[in-house]
Each structure stands twice: as C-alpha cells, then as structure tokens.
Chains A and B, each alone.
Chain A
Amino acid sequence: MAFEMPSTSATMLSGLRAGQEGAWDRFYAIYAPIAYRFARKRGLGASDCEDVVAIVMRNLLVAFRRGLVVDYSRGRFRNYFRAVVNHAISQQLKRTGRDGELDPQTLAESQPARADREVARLEARELVRLCVEQLKATYPRPRDVVIFERYVIHEEPPARLARLFNVSRARIYAIRHEVLAALKQYMAEQRAEFGMDAEGDSAC
C-alpha cells in the first residue's frame, strides 16, 4: 500500500519528549481527532469525548515530560496510544455512570493487532487531511484543485468539466496527475518532517 505508516515517528516522539511546541501541535492535529472518534464510537456525547481527548493528552504530556520510553518489545506507540485512549474512555464512562455498557466489538478492537491497524488507518487519513489543507492553501493554480476535486473526488464526468472550465479533456487528466503529484510531495515532506519513514528507534 502506498500510504502505509510502518511506525509512529521516532522523530516525532523525540520532539514530544523534548517538548517542541510544533511537534505537539502536529501531534494534536493528528491524534486528538483519532481519540475523539474512538470515544464517539463508544457512544459518548460530544462534550464527554472532548473530555476524553483532554485526559488522553494530559496523560501523554505528563508521560513524555517524564521521559516516556516506548517498549517496542511490547508493542508500538499506536498500541500504547490506543491503551491510553481506552483507559480515558473507561474513566469517562465511569464518571458518567455508564461503565456497565461494554460492547464486545470495541473490546475486540482494542486487541493490539486490530488497534494498530485501526490507528494506522486513521493516522494516514489525518495526515492526508493535513496535506490536502496545505495543498489547497499553497497550490499555485487553485482552479486546478477545484477541477481535481470535482473530477476525482465528486466523480463529475471529465467531458462536462472540460466544457465548464474551457479546457481539454486531456488537460483534466493532466490536472489529476499534477495535483496528485503535488499531494504526494507534501506527504513525503510531512513524513520526512515527522520521520515517518523510519521504524521506531530503540530510544523511543
């Protein structure tokens, strides 16, 4: 798969331990919505989910400030993250008096292998979202991004778009290629910045 994320970035984890504000902001941008989604999936209301995110981030911040070292022999950072999220959800369910509500499906999802896959899928989605935002803000031909979205995302027929935007059909296909190339470039840059191509190092 093209967007496989072999491990959560060792570089990013080092940045978190060092308390780099940029690293934390990016961490929040990717992982806060993931924690929020997991909490929603367990049936918590919006404000309870936000509390879960706050608990998760508090626990992680404290752990990293104390020099958290991920023990890769016991699992990846994703497993650890999922465990922290599950713990926060349980706490919140207790607080709201709903701790008796256990869904066997979500328990199955918390098994390490499944948790890893699920968090990896959501990580990839959040990373693409960040890069799409960046692309929309900086792409030199904004109209091409509009054409791309209408053709590729909303699946409008290229012939109609060609008429509408007064370009050739071949140009529509070329735009698809160019925008995807730019997106891949942004992804590569983000991954490099996060160190996402590297497997977790022993220091994490």
Chain B
Amino acid sequence: MLNWFRRCPSPQRLLEYARRHASVWVARHVQRCPKCRQELERLYQEEELVALWSDRGNDVDESTRTRLLLRCQQVAREVGADQLGDRPPVRTRRNGCHPPAP
C-alpha cells in the first residue's frame, strides 16, 4: 500500500489531477513528492494560460473589434491632420487660401 503511494503518477494522470483534483492518491502522493509538486506547479501555470484562452465571459465580438480598430485608425488620421497641420489648405477666390477649420 505504501509503495503504491510512493510511485509517481503518469504525466497524463497528473494532468487530469491538475485539471480536476479528482484523485485522492495523487493528492497524497503530491504532498510527499517534490518532483511531482514542481510538475504540478508547471501544469497549474499552463492551466492559467488555458483559462485565458477559453475566457469568453463578457467578451467583445469580432465585428465590434473590427469596428473599434477602424474607428481608432480614423481618430489617428484626424489627430495626425490636426496636430501636424498636414491637412491641405482650402483655396478661396478672394485671398488665395486659409487655414483648415479646427
């Protein structure tokens, strides 16, 4: 019985444990085995990455993202024109040209 607890679980079993914590003997083994504890720590970090991948809660859909990007690029063009003064001057008949409207 004791030997059974001492044997390290397979990588697959450890992964299943990291995801579900559904095995009592793996839990007991991990408490005693620094190597498996370290591996489990690495798996937990991967699970955090997985959680970010799958985090769809309150998400912004693709069409909104595209609209936002286009809107931002439009704002950038406007700011660029305002800040750098590269908007073409508007010619008038009387005095040649005048600065662009703000």
Instruction: Show the binding face of A for B, using Cβ within 8 Å.
Output: 1-3, 24-25, 28-29, 32-33, 36-37, 40-41, 46, 50, 53-54, 57-58, 61-62, 65, 124-125, 128, 132, 152-153, 169-170, 173, 176, 180, 183-184, 187
- Would you call B75 an interface residue if the criterion is a C-beta within 8 Å of the partner chain's C-beta atoms? yes
Cα distance, A125 to B49, chains bound together (Å): 9
On whether the beta carbons of B12 and A3 are closer than 8 Å, the reply is no
- Would you call B76 an interface residue if the criterion is a C-beta within 8 Å of the partner chain's C-beta atoms? yes
The DSSP consensus for interface residues of chain A is helix
Cα distance, A40 to B57, chains bound together (Å): 13
Point out the residues of chain B lying under 8 angstroms from A25, CB to CB: 69, 73
Q: For the complex, count residues of B whose C-beta is within 8 A of A.
A: 28
The DSSP consensus for interface residues of chain B is helix
Cα distance, A62 to B76, chains bound together (Å): 9
On whether the beta carbons of B79 and A180 are closer than 8 Å, the reply is no
On whether the beta carbons of B11 and A50 are closer than 8 Å, the reply is no
- Would you call B93 an interface residue if the criterion is a C-beta within 8 Å of the partner chain's C-beta atoms? no
B15, B60, B69, B83 interface centre (most CB from chain A within 10 Å): B60
- Would you call B72 an interface residue if the criterion is a C-beta within 8 Å of the partner chain's C-beta atoms? yes
On whether the beta carbons of A184 and B49 are closer than 8 Å, the reply is yes
On whether the beta carbons of A36 and B72 are closer than 8 Å, the reply is no
CB distance from A44 to the nearest CB of B (A): 13
Instruction: Knowing A2-B45, A183-B49 are in contact, say whether A28-B73 is a contact too (CB < 8 A).
Output: yes
On whether the beta carbons of A54 and B52 are closer than 8 Å, the reply is no
On whether the beta carbons of A61 and B65 are closer than 8 Å, the reply is no
CB distance from A139 to the nearest CB of B (A): 14
On whether the beta carbons of A46 and B64 are closer than 8 Å, the reply is yes
On whether the beta carbons of B83 and A62 are closer than 8 Å, the reply is yes
CB distance from A191 to the nearest CB of B (A): 13
On whether the beta carbons of B71 and A3 are closer than 8 Å, the reply is no
Other than the given A1-B48, A54-B71, A125-B52, 19 more pairs (CB < 8 A) read A1-B45, A2-B46, A25-B69, A25-B73, A29-B69, A32-B71, A36-B60, A36-B64, A40-B58, A50-B67, A53-B72, A57-B71, A58-B79, A62-B83, A152-B50, A152-B53, A152-B54, A153-B53, A183-B53
